[in-house]
């Protein structure tokens, strides 16, 4: 854990349904909210609960500000897949969760003409904060001289299997200037096909424009995005959703294979050295 990492009990303020099996929970935790940066994450656990025993990692969806503009809480977007998210689906205002963070590196403070964000499924959650920061609509963290993500324009390509899994996009649609393109694998909404069908023409449509790609979602989707970016010599950063036990570098349960110099590779802890890595450095065949 870094000096700024805190473990507290945070109170649930509200729980909203976003779409089938997807929710957003608002937690009151001012200190963490004031420090956390886009792409960083935190661990959540139910106090006193032994099943599940371990905390679970979740990305920052967004910070919640009070009427003076001070960060007083965070929103967490989640998909119900198992024990912890099953508990979270039943939360009511006043319940408490143990939370520790901020954790991980977050997305780098890149400067570019066009930031293209590619999300699959619940992997869209980090892109509310990255888009707001990139388009200079919100500030995160306490350091006044911190470099920020900056882009002249920002896009989000969002893919889901079928329309019923498409999240309530109102938080993203509220971000002025963010271009959003939806695709579904079965064609029930937006483009019928894969996120890479939409990404490919965007990488070449404006020669001379600098482009950086951020992606988060299923591993094979991120692999396809990273490969397409490599083919177009475009910088790409991936946020891995590797299962984690401790979240702060102690247990090595989250290691991922990362390329080293001269054809070598070694494991890196996704919770500490990640979860955001250059797409070109991941040994995708071993993921
Ligand atoms: C840095 C990071 C950020 C994340 N951010 C979010 C987020 O914002 N919203 C969100 O909904 N989820 C997010 N996740 C994934 C989330 O941590 C898992 O979905 C969660 O741990 C599931 O907990 P559970 O107890 O409900 O499921 P469990 O009971 O632990 O597992 C249920 C099933 O899901 C599988 N599973 C669990 N975790 C993962 C995983 N990470 N990848 C693939 N399969 C898995 C298990 O193998 C099992 O089959 C993030 C993960 C990481 C590492
Ligand atoms: S989760 Fe324990 S080292 Fe990464």
Domain ranges of the chain: 6-103, 111-239
CA distance 125 to 121: 9
Task: Please say if the pLDDT value at position 3 is more than 70.
Answer: no
Does 84 contact ligand 1 (Cβ within 6 A)? yes
pTM summary value: 0.96
**125 — pLDDT class (breaks 50, 70, 90):** very high
CB 115 within 8 A of CB 134: yes
1.10.10.10, 3.30.499.10, 3.10.290.10, 3.40.50.80: CATH of 111-239 = 3.40.50.80
CA distance 189 to 181: 10
pLDDT tens string 189-230: 999 999 999 999 999 999 899 999 999 999 999 999 999 999
**Ligand nearest 275 Cα, by number?**
1
- CA proximity to 49, closest of 25, 84, 82, 76: 84
Q: Which fold has domain 6-103?
A: Elongation Factor Tu (Ef-tu); domain 3 (2.40.30)
Q: How many helices (H) and strands (E) does the chain have?
A: 6, 16
Q: In what order do the strands lie in the sheet with 178-184?
A: 191-192, 178-184, 150-160, 111-120, 211-216, 235-239, 276-278
Ligand 1 centroid to 79 CA: how many Å? 8
CB 44 within 8 A of CB 12: no
Ligand 1 centroid to 229 CA: how many Å? 26
Q: What is the pLDDT of residue 1?
A: 63
Percentage of residues of the chain with pLDDT beyond 90: 89
Ligand 2 atom nearest residue 255's Cα = 4
Count other Cβ atoms within 10 Å, centred on residue 120.
25
pLDDT tens string 225-247: 999 999 999 999 999 999 999 99
For 65-89, what is the mean pLDDT?
96
Mutational pocket test of ligand 2: of 247, 256, 258, 277, the residue with most ligand atoms within 8 Å of the beta carbon: 247
């Amino acid at each position: 854990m870094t000096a700024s990492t805190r473990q507290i009990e945070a109170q649930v303020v509200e729980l909203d349904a976003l779409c089938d099996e997807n929710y957003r929970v608002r937690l009151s935790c001012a200190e963490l909210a004031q420090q956390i940066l886009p792409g960083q994450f935190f661990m959540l656990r139910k106090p006193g609960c032994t099943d599940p025993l371990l905390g679970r990692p979740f990305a920052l969806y967004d910070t919640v500000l009070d009427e003076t503009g001070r960060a007083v809480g965070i929103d967490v977007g989640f998909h119900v897949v198992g024990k912890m998210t099953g508990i979270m689906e039943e939360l009511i205002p006043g319940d408490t969760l143990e939370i520790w963070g901020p954790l991980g590196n977050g997305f780098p403070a890149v400067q570019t003409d066009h930031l293209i964000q590619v999300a699959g499924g619940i992997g869209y959650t980090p892109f509310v904060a990255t888009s707001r920061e990139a388009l200079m609509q919100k500030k995160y963290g306490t350091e006044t001289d911190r470099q920020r993500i900056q882009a002249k324009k920002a896009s989000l390509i969002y893919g889901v299997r079928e329309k019923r899994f498409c999240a309530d996009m109102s938080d993203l649609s509220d971000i002025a200037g963010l271009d959003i393109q939806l695709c579904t694998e079965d064609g029930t909404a937006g483009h019928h096909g894969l996120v890479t069908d939409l990404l490919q023409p965007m990488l070449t449509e404006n020669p001379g424009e600098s482009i950086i790609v951020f992606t988060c979602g299923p591993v094979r989707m991120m692999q396809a995005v990273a490969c397409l970016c490599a083919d177009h010599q475009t910088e790409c950063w991936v946020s891995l959703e590797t299962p984690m036990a401790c979240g702060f570098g102690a247990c090595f349960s989250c290691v991922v294979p990362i390329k080293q110099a001269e054809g070598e590779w070694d494991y890196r802890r996704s919770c500490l050295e990640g979860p955001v890595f250059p797409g070109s450095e991941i040994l995708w065949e071993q993921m």
